[in-house]
Amino acid sequence: MSILLKGGRVVDPSRNLDGVKDILIEEGKIAAIADSMDDTTGETRVVHLEGKVVLPGLVDMHTHLREPGYEYKETIRSGSEAAAAGGFTSIACMPNTDPVNDSRAVTEYIVKRAGECNLVHVYPVAAISLRSEGRTLAEFGDLKEAGAVAFSDDGKPVVDSGLMRRALEYASSLGLVIIPHCEDLSLSAGGLMNEGRISTELGLPGIPTLAEEVMIARDLLLAEYTGAALHISHVSSAGSVRMIRNAKARGIPVTAETAPHYFTLTDEALRDFDPSFKVNPPLRSPLDRKAIREGLRDGTLDVIATDHAPHAATDKEVEFEYAASGISGLETALALSLRLVDDGLLTLSELVRKMSTNPAKILNIPGGALLPGADADITVFDPDRSWIVDPLSWRSKGKNSPFFGWTLKGKVLMTLVKGRVVYSED
Amino acid sequence: MKWERKDLLGIKDLSGEEISLILDTAESFLEVSTRDIKKVPTLRGKTIINFFVEASTRTRTSFEIAGKRLSADTINISASTSSLVKGETLADTARNLEAMNPDVIVIRHSCAGAPHMLARLVRQSIINAGDGAHEHPTQALLDMMTIRSRKGTLSGLNVTIVGDIAHSRVARSNIYGLNKMGAHLTVAGPATMMPRDIRELGVKVSFRLEEALQDADVVMMLRIQTEREQRSVFPSLREYSAFYCLNGDNIQRARPDVLVMHPGPVNRGVEISPEIADGANSVILEQVTNGVAVRMALLYLLTGAIE
Amino acid sequence: MQKKLVMDAAEIDRSLTRIAYEILEKNKGVTDLVLVGIRTGGVFLAERLQKKIFDIEGVKVPSCILDITMYRDDLLSAHRKPRIMKTEIPFSLDKKKAILVDDVLFTGRTIRAAMDALIDFGRPQSIQLAVLIDRGHRELPIRADFVGANLPSFLWEEISVNLIEKNGRDEVVVEDSN
C-alpha cells in the first residue's frame, strides 16, 4: 500500500530542502516529492501533516543494544523499538557485549536478530581488538563482510599507540572509520565524575578532562600521520573541542560526535549523588558545556549521537561509586536536541544534518536524505507538542534517564522504515 | 530560630544559625555525661540504628553512648563490605532497615553520597556519620564546639587544617562549617593532597607547614592514611613527617594559645609529635567528650521539630 | 484581648518574703537547704528567695538552675519540641533539703519532671515545692509546700508572671487567650 505524507514541513539538509512538500511512498521507496500531490487511486493512505515536520530518518551512530550477553539491560528488539520511538531509522551498535563483537559470528548474530525484529536498520560496530583488550587486531575484513560498518573498542581506550596506528591504517584500507574511546585510564583511574570544583565539594574522585584530551591528542596525531579517517566519540570537554577544531583546520580527516547530555547537563547535577547522572565521560563543567554547544554551532562537532547506554534498575539503585555509568538516550535525543534549535544555536536543517545526514555519511550507510528512489526511511515529529519524560513508559528496558520528569517539546509522531510504519504515536 | 530538618547529611546544607543551635544544644547536654547517673529519659522508646558499612570504633561508640544516655535503644549493624558484595543493593538494605521502624538511622559508608541515597529512600531521620571523602558533619560540629568553648567564638579565628585534604571528609565538613561561622581557613599539605579548585571553597592553600602555622589560633592535623602512599600521593611516610609533622619547633609560629586538634586516631610521630599531642595546647580528648554531647544534641533535634 | 492585673510588685515582694519565712520555719533554719530554680520561670524567683533568706538569716543558701526539658513527658508526642537549655547544679544534692522554685503551678507535670531530674543528681533528704502562683487544674497528685497566691483560673486563661529581671517589671497578669 502506498502512503502519501501530505502538507508537512520537509527538511532535508542533503539538498538544502526546507519547505512544505508532499511525499509519496510506494513499495517502500520514496516515489515522489512534490509541492502538492493528491491521491487519485483511492488506494493510498493519506497522512495529513500540516504543522508537522518530516525528516530523513534519524541515524544514531552510537548505541548500546547489550545483546548478546546483557539482555536484562536491553535486547536488539527492545533497543530497536526504543530507536523507532525516538525517531531513529538506523542505529549503529557498539561491540561491548558478551561476547564482545570481535568476530563474524557475533556480527552475523546481530544482523540476523535485527532482521528478525524487522524494525530499524541495525549496523554493528565491531571491536578494534580481540575482546577489546587492546592487544590483537580483530579481523576487520571478515567483520566488514559480515556487516560491520566501523570499528571501536568503545568503553575502553586502545592504550597501545602502535596498535592504534595499525588499526587506523588497516581500517582505512577497507574504507571504514575507527571510533576510539578516548580516555587515559591512568589519569581517570578511580574517577567517578568530572574533576573540578564540584568533585572537590562532593569528595568524589575526579576524572579530569585531561584524561580525554591526552588521548584525543594522540589519536589526532595518529590520524594526521596515517591519513586514516578517525571519528571521535562522545566529546565532552572544551579542550577536546578546541583540539578537534584545530585538527580540522589543518585538514586532518577527523569527525566528532557529542551526546545530548553533554550539551544539556553539567556536573552541578551531581550534587544529590543521583546515579542517573553518572556517565562516562562524565558530565563536565558549565564552561565545557558552553564549548560543546559552540562546537556544535561552528561545525567542529559533526554528529549528535545518543550513546544510549541502557541499564537495569539494580545497576543504578546502588551507591554512586558502584552504580553503572550510562544514560538511556534513544527516546529523549531528538527533543533534547531540538532545544538547540529553540536556543538559536542551530537551524533545524543543521540539526538534522548532525542527527541523520552526517552520521550516515561517516558510516557510509544508506539514509540521511530524502531522495526519490531511495528507501523511505522517514521521521515525522510534532514540533509544538510538549511531553513529560516518563521512562517507565519507554520501549527501552533502560529506564536510567536523568531527564525523568522533564517537560520537553517536540514529539516523534511516526517513524517509517522502508515505507513501513515502525512507530506511530497513539 | 526554627529547626525543621529531618536529616543531617552534611554541614554544607546548614546555616550558621542552625550550627549555633546544634552547638548550644550540645553544650546543654554536656552536663549529662558528668553525672553519676549518666542517663536522661529524653528519647525513651526511640530506636536508633547505627548502620556502619565501614569500620569505625570511635564514631560508632560515640553515637551508641549518645543514644544510650538519652534512653534510646541503639542497635548496631555493621557490614565489613558493601551491600553490593552480598548481592543486595543499598536500596534493598534501606527498605529492610525502614521496615524495622527505627526513628533514626546513623550511617557510615565508604561511598560518598550513600547517606543521601538512604535519605531519599526511607522516611526515617538519617545522620551521616561519614561518607567516603565527602562529609563527616558530626566531627566538624564537635570540632567547632571544642573551639567555641575554648575561644568563646569561631568568628575571626585563624584555623589551619593540615594533611590529605583531597581525601578528607573531616576537612570538607570543617571547611564548610568554619567558613559559615566566620573563621579564616588555611589548608596545608603537598599539592598532591589538594583537590582541584580547592580555593573556590574559600580557603587559602599553603604547601609549607611553617607558613600555614603563622598566627594560627587553631591547628587541625588530619590522620594520614598510610595506604595512600601506594597511590603516590606522597613519596614516603618518612618524607611526609619530615615536612608536615607538627612539632615543638614549628608550633612556635602559631599563637601561644593555639589549640591542637586531631580527629583521631593519631599516628604519633607521623602527623603530630607525641609531646604536642599530649601537650598543654592539645584538646584532642576534649574533642572526644564533646563528640558525645554533639551527637546527643543531633539525636534530640532530629526526632522532632524545634519551635 | 482582656488583660487583668492580679498581683503588683509590692504584692509579689510580700509573698516572697512570707515564703522565705515559711521555708525557714518549716526547715528550722538554713541547714542543708538548697534552692533549685526551674527554667525559665523559677530561676529569678529562686535568686530572690536566696536574697530574702540572706536578709533574714545572714546566710547565702546555695541556688542552682534546673532545665527539665530532657525529662518532659510530652517529647514523644509533641509536634514541636522546646530547646534544651543548660542545667547548672554545681554541687551534690545528696542529703540536701531541695526547695524547687517555679512561678506557676498548673498541671503538675513540670514538677514531676523536675523531681525525676533532681533524683538523677543524687538522693536529697527531701524535696519541697515553692511557687508564686497556684492556678489549679492538677493532672498529677502534686501540691505545693509554699504558695504565694492561689489563683483559681479557667483553662483558657493565660497567667503570666513578669519579673524585672526577665521583662522589666514585676506583675502577674491574667489574659483571656480565647
pLDDT at B233: 81
Which of A195, A197, A273 is closest, CB to CB, to B116?
Answer: A273
Are the C-beta atoms of A131 and A155 separated by less than 8 Å? Answer: no
State mean pLDDT over C141-168.
94
- Residues of A with CB below 8 A from B200's CB? 197, 200
pLDDT beyond 60 at B84: no
pLDDT beyond 80 at B230: no
pLDDT at C78: 61
d(CA B110, CA A166) in angstroms, rounded, equals 43
- Residues of A with CB below 8 A from B195's CB? 199-200, 206
Per-residue confidence at B236, pLDDT binned at 50, 70, 90?
Answer: confident
pLDDT beyond 70 at C178: no
Q: What are A118-142's pLDDT values in tens digits?
A: 999 999 999 999 999 999 999 999 9
Q: Which amino acid is at C149?
A: A
Q: Where are the beta strands (DSSP E) in A214-304?
A: 230-232, 254-258, 303-304
* Contact flag C83-B21 (C-beta cutoff 8 Å): yes
Compute CA B221 distance to the chain's CA centroid, rounded to the nearest angstrom.
13
Share of chain A above pLDDT 70, in %: 100
Helices and strands, number each (H, E), in chain B: 10, 10
How distant is the Cα of B43 from the closest Cα of chain A, in angstroms?
30
d(CA A69, CA C67) in angstroms, rounded, equals 66
Q: What are A320-368's pLDDT values in tens digits?
A: 999 999 999 999 999 999 999 999 999 999 999 999 999 999 999 999 9
d(CA C37, CA C171) in angstroms, rounded, equals 19
* Contact flag B113-A195 (C-beta cutoff 8 Å): no
* Contact flag C84-B37 (C-beta cutoff 8 Å): no
* Contact flag B305-C79 (C-beta cutoff 8 Å): yes
Interface of B with A in 199-238 (CB under 8 A): 200-201
d(CA C15, CA C86) in angstroms, rounded, equals 28
State mean pLDDT over A51-78.
98
d(CA A155, CA A141) in angstroms, rounded, equals 23
pLDDT at B102: 95
State mean pLDDT over B243-266.
96
C touches A, CB cut-off 8 Å, minimum 3 pairs: no
Phi, psi of A273 (to 5 degrees): 60, 35
State mean pLDDT over C102-119.
96
pLDDT beyond 70 at A387: yes
Which residues, listed in sequence order, are joined to residue C66 by a DSSP beta bridge? Answer: C38
pLDDT beyond 70 at A37: yes
Which of B113, B134, B197 is closest, CB to CB, to A197?
Answer: B197
Per-residue confidence at C77, pLDDT binned at 50, 70, 90?
Answer: low
pLDDT at B227: 65
Considering the candidates A12, A22, A60, A307, report the single residue annotated as catalytic.
A307
Per-residue confidence at B80, pLDDT binned at 50, 70, 90?
Answer: low
State mean pLDDT over B65-90.
80
SS3 for B3? Answer: strand
Q: Which amino acid is at B34?
A: T
For cell 579481523, the residue is A139
Per-residue confidence at C137, pLDDT binned at 50, 70, 90?
Answer: very high
Cβ count near A37 (within 10 Å)? 18
> CA separation (Å) from B164 to A407, B224, B284?
43, 7, 19
| Structure-model confidence comparison of residues A136 and C77, the more confident one | A136
User: For residue A5, which of A27, A20, A19, A24 has the smallest C-alpha distance?
Assistant: A24
Are the C-beta atoms of A62 and A305 separated by less than 8 Å? Answer: yes
* Contact flag C70-B45 (C-beta cutoff 8 Å): no
* Contact flag B196-A272 (C-beta cutoff 8 Å): no
Per-residue confidence at B278, pLDDT binned at 50, 70, 90?
Answer: very high
Interface of B with C in 37-66 (CB under 8 A): 37, 39-46
How distant is the Cα of A314 from the closest Cα of chain B, in angstroms?
7
State mean pLDDT over A222-234.
97
- Residues of C with CB below 8 A from B42's CB? 69-71, 75
SS3 for C32? Answer: coil
How distant is the Cα of B187 from the closest Cα of chain A, in angstroms?
14
Which residues, listed in sequence order, are joined to residue B196 by a DSSP beta bridge? Answer: none
* Contact flag A319-B90 (C-beta cutoff 8 Å): yes
d(CA A297, CA A245) in angstroms, rounded, equals 12
Q: Which amino acid is at A14?
A: S
Are the C-beta atoms of A349 and A329 separated by less than 8 Å? Answer: no
* Contact flag C71-B42 (C-beta cutoff 8 Å): yes
* Contact flag A318-B109 (C-beta cutoff 8 Å): no
pLDDT at B189: 96
Q: Which amino acid is at C13?
A: D
> Helices B137-151 and B284-302 sit at what angle, rounded to 10 degrees?
120
CB pairs under 8 A between A and B: 77
Cα four-point dihedral sign B273, B278, B282, B287: positive
Q: Which amino acid is at C113?
A: A
pLDDT beyond 60 at A24: yes
* Contact flag C83-B305 (C-beta cutoff 8 Å): no
d(CA A421, CA A377) in angstroms, rounded, equals 10
Which of A202, A318, A320 is closest, CB to CB, to B89?
Answer: A318
pLDDT beyond 60 at A39: yes
End-to-end Cα, chain C, rounded Å? 8
What is the average pLDDT score of chain A?
97
The vertex-A122 CA angle with A118 and A125, nearest 5°, equals 160
The vertex-B104 CA angle with B99 and B108, nearest 5°, equals 100
pLDDT beyond 80 at A285: yes
The side-by-side arrangement of strands in the sheet containing C146-150 is C63-66, C33-38, C97-105, C126-134, C146-150
- Residues of A with CB below 8 A from B120's CB? 272
- Residues of B with CB below 8 A from C75's CB? 42-43, 304
Which of A200, A318, A321 is closest, CB to CB, to B195?
Answer: A200
- Residues of B with CB below 8 A from A237's CB? none
State mean pLDDT over C63-80.
84
How distant is the Cα of A316 from the closest Cα of chain B, in angstroms?
9
Least confidently predicted of B29-38, B67-76, C55-64: B29-38
Per-residue confidence at B3, pLDDT binned at 50, 70, 90?
Answer: confident
Q: Is A307 a catalytic residue?
A: yes
Domains and CATH numbers, chain C: 10-69+85-154 (3.40.50.2020)
Phi-psi region of A149 (alpha: psi -120 to 50; beta: other; left: phi over 0): alpha
Per-residue confidence at B103, pLDDT binned at 50, 70, 90?
Answer: very high
